[in-house]
Structure 1
């Protein structure tokens, strides 16, 4: 049941606020995980003393600050999109530039919320698809920055798809959702090991298996082939472009997660059944 433009606009406004929080998650969660792993390694090696615990660092504290001068961001400097425009993309204290990605993430999240509620209404289906889209956006950017797909996000996304199917909040039947999750994980796990046995290298990480399993849970096993084809084609095109522009990172690799996430968002927008047609038309077939 589609929502009115007003309801969708209100949802988009909420999405802007969620996007602001996503910026925090994208930046801080990998650092939190690295600190956790370092502490565990120190503990296992017997080097942990516990005399000087590090200051609290999580999604809530400390308050956001300018990375250049450490100026603490005031609440009125943190209004999604508006503050960036009023500050002209610069820190109010040191005038250093602020990355354009912050407002872009907020705008993208707002647009995804607007689309979801406009299409499915203010219903459980509209709410869960909004959450799904925001989660994929966060995963895509974390993986692009760090090559990490944290279990803290991929596993809730997977279980969220199964729960949404079981509660009939989405149109994917539970049996298709369960088989989609299993097939998504196993298929990429097999590709990983075949590639490793053939080349001695790791072509992807376990986070990719879990993300593909999550997409299978949301859309069912029937959607896996279109999704993986779209992710592979877009990834190959981006990789070729980056190679010719000397934009590849050390080791000549790009993470696969962002392209899986893009394909997952495309499946939400257009439907998995239309992805193959889009790929064929893009390739001129």
Structure 2
């Protein structure tokens, strides 16, 4: 069976496509709930500090990635297992809640389909290997970060920091994407490069041009692929941000003065680097 997977990547890619549908369904939960969990934790800490040392801490309702069960935000109808089958349930329900007929956002099945397609693509490129498994995990993490940042302007430490350490670990041996030295330098250079831009912009304008989560995400990508590809990632993400930002302004969906998250473009550039980093580096910086 293993030999057949190595010789023919189609069954492995098909398996990762189906697994990606399930993971995409879970990523929808992460994208929706993780920012709310961060906010709830912050509010709980503030409330605890305001009570003083002798007062007991306030009670907290259970809210995490597992409980409470997913429910319709309009009528509270709890989503059953049959209503939670990736893509299929959305099509059967025709994009409507079974309890109140409220419209379900099409982004849920799109995230599931996107996760499945990207997972299958990575499986096809890398095959059943340690690097391939790591690449799939990186893909899932980037999808979650892209949508969370697009919604809330947050790049949670609970994803970016483990991603950074995982990048260093995967490059410990010969199965990684670069040498360990290059990965360590990439993590440091990735963080410091955007940190420098942040402070230069703040000193010149008095405003914050980006968040610290962007530093950590670029540091994580540097840990995965090495310092050599950082110029490629920064250039691609900047170009993507400029093009999409101008398109949103022209479509009257965003004004010039409204903040725009940079994390989604870093995530897109990072995933493209995963697939074809050396080719992009040769194309954009042939003498670097």
What band does the TM-score fall into relative to the shorter chain?
over 0.9
- 8 Å CA contact 1:91–1:98 kept in 2: the answer is yes
Give the unaligned 5+ runs of structure 2.
Answer: 1-5
Partner of 1:21: 26
Equivalent residue, structure 2, for 1:36: 41
8 Å Cα contact 2:44-2:58 kept in structure 1 = no
Aligned-partner Cα distance in 1 for 2:7–2:229: 24
C-alpha distance in 2 between matches for 1:183 and 1:206 = 14
In structure 2, the residue matched to 1:253 is: 259
Q: What is aligned with 2:189?
A: 183
- TM-score, with length taken from structure 1: 0.93
Q: TM-score if structure 2 supplies the norm length? A: 0.92
Does 2:284 match 1:264? Answer: no
1:142 to 133, 148, 151: 148
Within the alignment, does 1:274 sit opposite 2:280 as a pair?
yes
Gap regions ≥5 residues in structure 1: 281-285
Structure 1 residue aligned with 2:61, among 52, 55, 58?
A: 55
235-244 or 75-84, which deviates more: 235-244
Which secondary structure does the structure 2 equivalent of 1:271 belong to? helix
Aligned-residue CA RMSD (Å): 2.1
Equivalent residue number for residue 9 of structure 1: 14
Runs of 4+ in structure 1 off by over 6 angstroms are none
Who is 1:237 aligned against?
A: 243
Task: Specify which of 158, 169, 182 is matched with residue 163 of structure 1.
Answer: 169
What does residue 199 of structure 2 align with? 193
- Cα deviation for residue 55 of structure 1 reads 2.0
Query: What's 1:206 paired with?
Result: 212
Would you say how many aligned residue pairs link Structure 1 and Structure 2? Answer: 280
Per-residue CA shift, 1:146-175, capped at 9, x if unaligned? 000000000011111000001333231111
Tell me, in whole angstroms, the C-alpha distance in 2 between the residues paired with 1:87 and 1:279.
49
